[in-house]
Amino acid sequence: MNYWLMKSEPVECSIDDALAMPAATVPWTGVRNYQARNFMRDAMRVGDGVLFYHSSCAEPGIVGIAEVASAPYPDPTQFDPASHYYDAAAKPDAPRWVLVDVRAIRRTPLVPIAQLRAQPELAEMAVLRRGNRLSITPVTAAEWAVITTRLPAR
DNA sequence: GCCAACGTTGGC
DNA sequence: GCCAACGTTGGC
């Protein structure tokens, strides 16, 4: 079992949007970075824990708990010329981008990025690393424990 | 809106 | 295969 932090812009898909979907599950479309893609393609397993993170918004931070809900499969938006995520170089018989489904489990009180940075135990967290631009980063079991046990009870 | 940091592209 | 230019991310 592995753990991940996955960023989503709430304008695109917030934790509440995800919870409102059938089975609270969303296809994680739009990843166009090879390293992030490779995490989904090569390392994620169904049932892996996910910290649902809101980025590019007024209050960036962790807002929920989720889990990986599918094996990787081609991201359909790469084949859609009308999509913002269209990739003319990707063909159905040679997809370039994959995704997994993510099932939202519950909303949590916001844990702002400043609060994450303030925790000494989280100093090495990949998402907090200087210059990090990955929308998907691994989370260690120790980091997962610190974050999930210190989230205020709902 | 600014800017640091990094990935991608393309000329050579 | 180098590397400058450009684009993107994302917090502030």
A85 is in which domain, residue-wise?
3-149
Which pLDDT value is given to residue A82?
A: 87
Total structural domains in chain A?
1
Per-residue pLDDT of chain A (154 residues; tens, 9 = 90+): 999 999 999 999 999 999 999 999 999 999 999 999 999 999 999 999 999 999 999 999 999 999 999 999 999 999 998 888 998 888 888 899 999 999 999 999 999 999 999 999 999 999 999 888 899 999 999 999 999 987 654 4
A88 in any annotated domain? yes
Which pLDDT value is given to residue A20?
A: 96
A72 in any annotated domain? yes
A91 in any annotated domain? yes
In angstroms, the CA A27 to CA A66 distance is 13
Which pLDDT value is given to residue A130?
A: 85
Q: Which nucleotides of B are covered by protein (CB under 7 A)?
A: 4-8
A33 CB inside 7 Å of strand B: yes
Which pLDDT value is given to residue A154?
A: 43
CATH of the domain at A145: 3.10.590.10
Give the CA angle between residues A86, A26, A110 to the nearest 5°: 110
Which pLDDT value is given to residue A153?
A: 43
Q: Which nucleotides of C are covered by protein (CB under 7 A)?
A: 8-12
pTM: 0.93
A60 CB inside 7 Å of strand C: yes
In angstroms, the CA A147 to CA A128 distance is 14
Amino acid making up residue A11: V
What nucleotide is nearest A56 when CA is compared to C1'? C10
